[in-house]
Amino acid sequence: MRPVSPSRRRSASAVYAALAAQVLSVAALVVFEQVRGVRLALEISAFGSDAQASGARAVAGAATVFALLILFAAVTTIFVITTYLLWLVRIRPGSGSAAPSMRSLLAGWFVPVLNLAAPPVLLDRLWQGCRPAEGRRSHWLVLLAAWWTSWLTAAALIVRLPFSPRAEAGLTGLGPAELAAVALAAVLCAATVQQITAAQTSGARHRRRIKESHAIAQAVPDLSAPTP
């Protein structure tokens, strides 16, 4: 197995940056919702389509800010998906024969129902293929389970928003609970990326040292052999 190339390290860094941007976008939406959301929803309902009504211009300005925040959240989500997939593509060849195929990875992430359980299993196969140091598996499994549980929790909280009374009263219904869930899922996702990248690096170094020691052993003459 080859050591982690600079391109793979850059891919991991891109995932970290994308996750941070996504958390920032959700935080901005939550702040806007808490400060202006309910009042803006009431004002939009009151003004309706009357653009000439008193105060309509201020409402339009606030609505524009809200639209930009929604766009920012959408763009950062696409950024996360893109950078994560690129990281998977680049990290997979360094995970040996145990690495799942690209078809399996894509199906595990995008096929409905299957994607509720397959991603952590596939990620675990990548981690095992890196042949990390002994004694790390229990720590890895706890991290993997925590990440996936937090991700499912964040997804469930966001999916239920359209049916939440908060969403009916405001603009999105986003609140501190959703922000905390998204932030925790992002931090744990970054931790899994870091663990696999680090495991691949340490595994490659360990195998390189073994090869070097074997080469040295073969180069040094066997002193126990009888001399002619």
What are the pLDDT digits (tens) for 113-138?
999 999 999 999 888 888 777 778 89
Which residue has 């706890």 as its token pair?
142
d(CA 113, CA 108): 9
Helix axes 102-110, 118-129, angle to 10 degrees: 150
What per-residue confidence (pLDDT) applies to 215? 46
Instruction: Identify residue 63 by its one-letter amino acid code.
Output: A
- How far CA 1 is from CA of 37, 91, 176, in Å, comes to 53, 11, 44
What per-residue confidence (pLDDT) applies to 167? 62
What per-residue confidence (pLDDT) applies to 214? 44
pLDDT reading at 32 higher than 80: yes
**Phi/psi zone of residue 63: left (φ > 0), alpha (ψ -120 to 50 degrees), beta?**
alpha
**pLDDT digit string (tens) for 168-222?**
667 788 899 999 999 999 999 999 999 998 888 764 444 444 444 444 555 555 4
d(CA 51, CA 58): 11
